[in-house]
Chain A
Amino acid sequence: MIRTPLRPLARVLKARETGENPDHIEQENRRLRLENMRDAARSQAEGRLLTLALLFLCGFVLLGARMGLLAATEPLELRVGMVEDISSARADILDRDGRVLATNLPTHALYAETRRMVDPVRAAHELARIFPDIDADRMAARFSDPQRRFIWIRAQLSPEQQQAVHDIGEPGLLFGPRDMRVYPNGRMAAHVLGGARFGQQGVRAAELLGVAGAELFFDARLRDPEQVNAPLHLSLDLTVQATVTEVLEGGMHMLNAKGASAVLMDVYTGEVISLVSLPDFDPNLRPAPPTEGEPADSPLFNRAVQGYYELGSVMKSFAVAQALDAGAVTPQSIIDTRGPLTWGRFRINDFRNYGPQLSVKDVMVKSSNIGTARIMQPIGAEAQQDFLRKFGFLDPAPIELAEAARARPLLPERWSDLSVMTISYGHGMSTSPLALAAGYASLINGGRKVTPTLLRQDSVQAGAQIISAQTSQQMRLMLHQVVQEGTASFARIPGYPVGGKTGSADKPGPRGGYMKDAVLATFASVFPSHDPRYVLIVTLDEGADTTGPEPRRTAGWTAVPVSAEITRRVAPLLDIRPVRLEAANAAFEAAVQ
C-alpha cells in the first residue's frame, strides 16, 4: 500500500503561492487517512461478526434438528446385548378362543470353541455318552482340527441334556440361547399349522421360519417385529377340531379307509372352524417329504385343501341349483330318467333303475345321474362354466395356507356337451373338499358368495349374491329331504335336523379308467337344515363297511354315519340349540308360504 504523504510538496508550494495555510492540507490528509483506517477496521469487524453469527446459526440449526429428530422418533430403549440382528421372535398362533396352537419356548443350542477346550478327546467321549448318535472319534477329530475354531453340536437341548453337558466341565463347550417352536397340542391341526425350522443361525439367536401351512403363509406377519407381540388368531376351534379328529380317526379305522378329511365351515362368515386331514403328523417333529410312493398318500399331504378329487354326486346340488335359479325347472318338474342315457359312445347309468320318470326333488333324493344330466343338458357348457366359476370351483380355493395356491382343479380341456352332463353329476372335474365346503356355504346361506378363511372374523361376509334367496331356500329343503327320505338316512340324528348330499365316486385308476372297488365317499351336510349355520364336508378314501355279506362302499354306508357322529358331537359345542324335527319341518313350510 502506498502511503500518501501528509504534506505533499506540490500542494504546499501551490498553497503558499495562493497564500493559504499549508497546515490545512496536512489536516485534510490526516483526516482521510483516519477515515480509511476506520473503514477497514469496521469491515473486518463486520466480517467477524457475520462469521460468528453464521457459526451460531449452524449450531442452533444442528441442535434444533437433533431435538426434532429425537422428538419424532419412537422412544426405544437400548437392548442389552442386542448385537446380532438375527431375531428369533415369532408371534404365537392361537385358536378362536385364545388357546395356544403354536408358541416359542426358550431353550439352548450347544456349540464348541475349540481354542478354549482343555481336553477335546475326553469332551468328545462324554458327549457321545449323552447323545448316542454322536460318533466319539469323529467328534474328537473335529475338536482337534486346528482349522476349526467353532463347531455347532446341537440345535436344541432339553434341560436334562444341558445339565449333563454342564457336568462334563469343559470350558470350550458353550450354550447359545435359542427359541424353539412348540405345538403343545401335538398332532392337532397339524396340516393347518404346518411346522417351523431354524433359518440363519447366530450364537445368540436363530431365525425361526415357517415350513408349510399357516406358518409359511403368515411367515412375514409372524416375524414382523412390530406385530410380534400380537398373536395371530385363527378361526379354528380347538375343542371342535379335537372332536372332529377323534371321530374321523375312529371312523377311518373302522371302515378301513386309507385316508379321510373333514372341513367344518361357518356358512355366513366363511370361517373354517375345523380342518382335518388324516393320516396326519406331529408338527413338532415334521417328517421329511416322501421321496418315493404317491405324494398324495404322505401324511404331509393335506387332503382337504390340496386333494382335488372327482367328488361325484355331491356336485349334483349345483346342477340342480343352476336349473332352479335359471327358472328352467321347479322342484316338482318331471324329468325323464329312462336309462341308459347314451351320448355317442358314452353311456350314463344310474346306481339302480329308478323308473321312467322322477321329479327334480326325487332326482336329488335318489341321486339319479341320468336325471341330473337331463336337467343340465339344455343349459349348456358356457352357462355351466359361469355358474361354477361364481362358486369358485374353477380356481384354487383362496385359503391362508401355503399349499393352497399350488393345487388347482382339473378341468376338461374341451368343455363339450358330454362334459356338461358328466360334470353335472361330479365326474370330469375335480374339486377339493374345502372348495366344496365354500360352495355349499354359498348355496344355502341365502345365495351369497363365501370365501373360505382361516382367520377369525368379526362380521359376516358381504359377498356377491350369486343365486337367489328363493333358490337357496329350495336347496335347503331338498338337502333336508335327501336325509329324511333318500340316500343319507344315517344322517338323521336326534335334536339336529341335517341336510346333505352324498357322493360316491369311483377313483380314477393309475392307468386311466375308473377302479371298481376303490371309492371316494363324500358327504356334504349342512346343519341345522332349516336354518343352516355350518357346513360339514366328510370324505373317506377307499372306506368300506364290511359288516354285511358284501362290502358296502357307497357314501351312505361310510361317510354319512361318520359325518352324523361328528355333527352329533360337535353341534352342542357350537352352541346350537337342539330342535325337534317337527319344528324344522314347520319352519320349512312357513318358508314356502
Chain B
Amino acid sequence: MRSLLYFLTALAVIGLAAWAYRENHLTQQAMNERGALQREVENLGNAITIQRTEWAYLNRPDRLRELVDVNFERLRLVPMTADHFGEIGQVAYPLQVLRSDYSTAVEVFGDLQDLSPQQEDAP
C-alpha cells in the first residue's frame, strides 16, 4: 500500500514537471508572438500616420487652390458666395412618371364613382 502511494506521488511529480515545462515554453512562444504582433501594430500605426500626414499635405489649402486654378477650364470652380444659395421654391418637384402599359391586370383601390372613362384611358 505504502509503495503504491510512493509510486503515485512520483508519477504525479513527473507529470507536473512535464506540464510546467510545456507551460513555460508555451508562455515564451506567446510572448514572442505578442512581440511580433506589437511590432506589426507599431509599423502599421506608423504607416497610418504617414498616410494621414501625406493626405493632409496633399489636401493643404495652398495646393487645392493651385489645383483649382490649373483645372479652371475643366471644372470652373469659384469661391462660394451668397449667390450660390437657393430658395426652397426654386427646387423643382420631381416629374411624376405615369405607367403607360396597362396590358396586364392593375389593382386599384377607391370609390367606383370616382372612376370616369377619361381617366381610364389616360396614359
Contact = CB atoms under 8 A, between A and B. Distances in A.
Nearest to B39: A80
Contacts of B34: 77
Given A80-B35, A106-B49, A238-B61, A572 B56 contact: no
A573 B81 contact: no
Contact of A100 (B35, B56, B65): B56
B7 interface: no
A100 B54 CA distance: 10
B81 A103 contact: no
Contacts of A564: none
Contact of B53 (A77, A79, A182, A578): A182
B29 interface: no
A106 B80 contact: no
Interface string A375-395: 000000000000000000000
Q: Is the interface of A mostly helix, strand, loop or mixed?
A: mixed
B50 interface: yes
B53 A188 contact: no
Contacts of A242: 61-62, 65
Interface string A545-572: 0000000000000000000000011011
A204 to B, nearest CB: 13
B57 interface: yes
A578 B57 contact: no
Interface string B28-66: 000000110011000000100110110011011110010
A242 B64 CA distance: 11
Interface stretch (B13-21, B82-90, B114-122): B82-90
B110 interface: no
Contacts of A201: none
Contact of A105 (B39, B49, B81): B49
B35 A103 contact: no
B38 A80 contact: yes
B123 interface: no
Contacts of A77: 34, 38
A197 to B, nearest CB: 19
B94 interface: no
A33 to B, nearest CB: 36
Contacts of B57: 182, 184
Interface residues of A, number: 31
Interface in B68-107: 79-85
Interface string A39-80: 000000000000000000000000000000000000001011
Contacts of A185: 56, 60-62
A103 B85 contact: no
A572 B53 contact: no
Contacts, number: 69
Contacts of A578: 82, 85
A104 B82 contact: no
A186 B61 CA distance: 9
Interface in A62-113: 77, 79-80, 99-100, 103-106
B32 to A, nearest CB: 10
Nearest to B46: A106
Given A185-B56, A185-B61, A568 B82 contact: yes
A104 B61 CA distance: 20
Contacts of B79: 243, 569
A494 B83 CA distance: 8
B52 A572 contact: no
Q: Which of B50, B59, B61, B79 has the most CB of A within 10 A?
A: B61
Interface in A185-210: 185-186, 188
A186 B85 contact: no
A571 B38 CA distance: 47
B88 to A, nearest CB: 11
B82 A496 contact: yes
Nearest to A493: B82
Given A186-B60, A569-B79, A577 B85 contact: yes
Contacts of A495: 81-83, 85
A572 B61 contact: no
Contact of B81 (A182, A241, A568): A568
A103 B62 contact: no
Contacts of B85: 495, 572, 577-578
Given A184-B57, A246-B65, A100 B83 contact: no
Nearest to A572: B80
A188 B61 contact: yes
Contacts of A103: 49, 52-53, 56
A80 B43 CA distance: 13
Contact of A572 (B46, B60, B62, B82): B82
Nearest to B50: A105
A104 to B, nearest CB: 7
A246 B46 CA distance: 33
B46 A100 contact: no
B56 A569 contact: no
A103 B49 CA distance: 8
A239 B81 contact: no
A572 B84 contact: yes
A569 B81 contact: yes
A184 B50 contact: no
A568 B80 CA distance: 9
Contacts of A188: 60-62
Contacts of B50: 105-106
Contacts of A573: 80
A244 B82 CA distance: 17
Contacts of A186: 60, 62
Interface string A492-530: 011110000000000000000000000000000000000
Given A185-B60, A496-B82, 13 more contacts: A77-B38, A80-B38, A103-B49, A105-B50, A106-B46, A185-B61, A185-B62, A186-B60, A242-B61, A243-B79, A246-B61, A495-B85, A569-B79
For the complex of A and B, the 8 pairs showing the least CB-CB separation, nearest first, are: A495-B82, A242-B61, A578-B82, A184-B56, A100-B56, A184-B57, A572-B80, A185-B60
Interface of A: 77, 79-80, 99-100, 103-106, 182, 184-186, 188, 238-239, 241-243, 246, 493-496, 568-569, 571-573, 577-578
Interface of B: 34-35, 38-39, 46, 49-50, 52-53, 56-57, 59-62, 65, 79-85
13 contacts: A79-B38, A105-B53, A184-B53, A184-B60, A238-B61, A239-B61, A246-B61, A246-B65, A494-B82, A495-B82, A568-B81, A569-B79, A572-B84
